Amino acid sequence: MMEDLSQYPLELKGPDIPMVRFSRVTKRYGDLTVLDDLDLDVTTGEMVTIIGPSGSGKTTVLRMLMTLETINEGVIYVDGQPLTHMVKGDKLVPADRKYLRKMRSQIGMCFQHFNLFPHMTALENCMEGPVQVLGMKKKEARERSEELLELVGMADKRDQHPSRLSGGQQQRVAIARALAMRPKVMLFDEVTSALDPEVIGEVTNVIRSLVDEHNLTMLMVTHQMGFAKDISDRVCFFYGGSIEEQGTPEELFGNPQKERTQQFLSAVKEAG
């Protein structure tokens, strides 16, 4: 059965439009429903953290927003424009690859396993997007990349290949690489999960400085509750493919209302 897309607006208008809107988004893998009828707004400059047990669909939220995954139902909007769909005539139709490429350039993503390009130095990794995709002059891209490497504290390692860098250093370069595209929205997918405990701080500090000093809209999936509590404007607890409970860090961590949230938080606390 074809989905009726006419219920969704062609674009979002008004002074208070969210930077990101998930509108009734459903994602299925075969019979398995990973996300069920998800509605989620993220306002400009907001830091939203997604927590939840594995298999709750939290990483899928980020991957759909990066358009790494297609969606089965619903529409995602970024900065008022549809992301997963495009306007043809006066109707929404599923976006083609060219449209997706244009739209996703507004979104940057950092991955659990960094995924730096191993055949390029730290600096070249950061310059790749601006030069190859934005068509920026090499000199300009180099300046921008050097600034960003400075921001993440990696300026002195700019000529090193990723294999020479520690996990924490690689992840900081990956953050600089994503920022070099000047995204409106940044996605952090379990960016500290693959790191040794002693270097987690250097990555979380970089993200913290982004929250403090830049008006970036950010979505983060993490298992680090302490970090989520510290820096989020809002925390969403995902369970079974939908948002079980959400609120400010104080509300969600201090006084969770739902039983599943309480169970999850106490299980996490016990695990340390």
Partner 1 sequence: MSYTDFLRQYGDRFWDGTLITAQQFLLASLLAIAIALLAGLMKLSRNRLIRGIAVVYIEIFRGTSLLVQLYWIFFVLPLFGLTLAKFTAGFVAVGMNLGAYGAELVRGGIQSVPKGQWEAAYALSMSPARRMWRIILPQAFVNMLPPWGNLLIELLKNTALVALISVSDLMFEAKQINGTTFLSAQTFGTALIIYYVLARFIVTPFMRWLERVMRRKLGRA
133 is a contact residue toward partner 1 (CB under 8 A): yes
* Closest approach of partner 1 to the CB of residue 175, in Å: 12
Instruction: Tell me if 159 sits within 8 A of 121, measured CB to CB.
Output: yes
Per rule CB under 8 A, is residue 129 in the interface with partner 1? yes
105 in contact with partner 1 (CB under 8 A): yes
Site string for partner 1, 163-202 (x = CB under 8 A): xx---------x--xx--x---------------------
Residue 208 interacting with partner 1 (CB under 8 A): no
Rounded Cα distance between 127 and 74, Å, is: 35
CA 36/CA 81 separation, integer angstroms: 22
- Residue closer to partner 1 (CB basis): 218 or 235: 218
Cβ atoms within 10 Å, residue 80 = 14
Stretch that binds partner 1, among 18-26, 51-59, 95-103, 190-198 (CB under 8 A): 95-103
Query: Judged by CB under 8 A, which stretch of 81-89, 106-114, 238-246, 247-255 contacts partner 1?
Result: 106-114
Footprint on residues 144-163 left by partner 1 (CB under 8 A) = 160-163
Which of 27, 58, 104, 234 contacts partner 1 by CB under 8 A?
104
Q: Which is nearer to partner 1, 29 or 117 (CB)?
A: 117
Establish if 68 lies at the interface with partner 1 (CB under 8 A).
Answer: yes
Spatial neighbors of 139 by CB under 8 A, at least 6 apart, are: none
When binding is defined by CB under 8 A, the residue of 35, 107, 219, 231 that contacts partner 1 is: 107
Q: Where are the beta strands (DSSP E) in the chain?
A: 20-29, 32-42, 47-51, 73-78, 81-82, 85-88, 91-94, 107-110, 185-189, 217-221, 234-239, 242-247
Token code pair at residue 166:
């520690």
Closest C-alpha among 144, 140, 148 to residue 209 = 148
Q: How far is the CB of 129 from partner 1 (least distance, A)?
A: 4
Q: Would you give the DSSP letter of residue 28? A: E
Exactly one of 14, 15, 30, 118 binds partner 1 (CB under 8 A); which one? Answer: 118
Q: Does residue 192 sit in helix, strand or coil?
A: coil
CB of 132 to partner 1, least distance (A): 5
User: Is there a contact between 76 and 84 (Cβ–Cβ < 8 Å)?
Assistant: yes
Helix/strand/coil percent split, the chain, to 5: 40, 25, 35
Give the interface segment with partner 1, choosing from 18-26, 94-102, 234-242, 264-272 (CB under 8 A). 94-102
Query: Cα(235)–Cα(63) distance, rounded to whole angstroms?
Result: 18
Residues in the site for partner 1, rule: CB under 8 A? 66, 68, 97, 101-102, 104-105, 107-109, 111, 113, 115-119, 121, 128-129, 132-133, 160-164, 174, 177-178, 181
